[in-house]
């Protein structure tokens, strides 16, 4: 049950686009389309932003999009806004019928 690999931090200016990667193995990210992404502001509970690789829950801005290629999933945020500054986590279902998270990525809006 090794954690998925995310960059520790990314940054971008308002209006720009950024991408956060999430790398696993063929036993998790690469083997299933059950990859999701969460946004967490300090002191708050996480919020689902993307599910099943590239689907947005109702109410989530279309500035957020997800994709997957092989064992790596990605979250792209376009038109960066100050309110997007937060921690972002990916997670995946695994072949062991468990769930694994990435270590988290801190997004800074410059």
Binding site for other proteins (CB under 8 A): 1, 3, 34, 36, 38, 40, 45-48, 51-52, 57, 89, 91-93, 97-104
- The neighbouring-strand residues paired with 109 are 12
For the CB of residue 29, give the shortest distance to other proteins in the complex, in Å: 12
For the CB of residue 80, give the shortest distance to other proteins in the complex, in Å: 22
Which lies closer to other proteins via its Cβ, residue 53 or residue 77?
53
Q: Burial of 7 by CB count in 10 Å (0-12 exposed, 13-18 middle, 19+ buried)?
A: middle
Which lies closer to other proteins via its Cβ, residue 79 or residue 96?
96
Helix (H, G, I), strand (E, B) or coil at 84: helix
Q: Are 49 and 56 in contact (CB under 8 A)?
A: yes
């Amino acid at each position: 049950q090794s954690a998925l690999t995310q960059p520790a931090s990314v940054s971008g200016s308002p209006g720009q686009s950024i991408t956060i990667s999430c790398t696993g193995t063929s036993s998790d990210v690469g083997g299933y389309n059950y990859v999701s992404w969460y946004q967490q502001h300090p002191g708050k509970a996480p919020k689902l932003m993307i599910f099943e690789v590239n689907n947005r829950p109702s109410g989530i801005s279309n500035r957020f999009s997800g994709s997957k290629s092989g064992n790596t999933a990605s979250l792209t945020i376009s038109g960066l806004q100050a309110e997007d500054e937060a921690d972002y986590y990916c997670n995946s279902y695994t072949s062991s019928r468990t769930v694994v998270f990435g270590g988290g990525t801190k997004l800074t809006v410059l």
